[in-house]
Amino acid sequence: MMTIDREAPFDTELLKSEDFWLFSLNLYGKADIKDACIHLQDNHGADINLILLCCWLDHKGIELHEALFDSLLQTSTYWQNDILQPARQQRRTTNKQAALYNTMLNQELELEKQEQKALLDIINASAQEQKSTTKDNDQSLLRYGKILKLPKAVIDAFIQTKSSFAPAY
C-alpha cells in the first residue's frame, strides 16, 4: 500500500465534484441502490452522500485516514441536520401532485450537490492525509458502516447490491 505525502501530492484530478455527482447519479439511479440508500438513511441515520462518496472513493482506490474521515462526518452532520433534513422534511409533507413539490425536490437536489462539493473540498484540501489502495476494496463503506454501527449483514447486503453495478466513473 502506497502512502501519499506532501512530496508526492494526491492527484486531485480524480476528485472533481462534477465527476462525483455524475457517478452518484449513475449509481443512485439504479432502483436497488436507491432503495438500499434510503433504507440506510431512514433506518440507520446514514447520509446518502457519504454512502455515495464511500462507493466512489472505493471505486477510485482511495482510502482516507481516520482523522480525515472524521472531518467528513462532521461536515456531513452539519449538512444533514441544518440544511438537508429540514428541506427534505418540508418536501415530504408537500403533496406530490403539487407543482411546489417538484420545485422543492429540485432545490433539495441542488443542496445535495452542494454537500458533495463541500465533502470533496475537505478531501482536496487535505491530500497529504490520503493513501492509495487497490480499487473496489470497499474499505470506505466498511468504515462508514462501522461508524453507523450497522449490522454486518446490512452493510454486506449493500456492498453486494452495489457490486452488481459497474459505474463508468
Cell 456531513 belongs to which residue? 76
16 phi, psi to nearest 5 deg? -95, 135
Mean pLDDT, residues 82-92: 94
Domain limits, the chain: 32-163
Distance CA 37, CA 41 (A): 6
How far are the Cα atoms of 22, 54, 158 from residue 153, in angstroms, in the given order?
28, 18, 9
Distance CA 127, CA 142 (A): 21
The H-or-E segment that residue 132 falls in is strand 130-132
Mean pLDDT, residues 83-102: 90
Distance CA 101, CA 164 (A): 32
Give per-residue pLDDT as tens, 109-143. 999 999 999 999 999 888 655 656 566 678 888 99
Give per-residue pLDDT as tens, 98-118. 889 999 999 999 999 999 999
164 or 47, greater pLDDT:
47
Q: What predicted TM-score, i.e. pTM, was given to this entire model?
A: 0.83
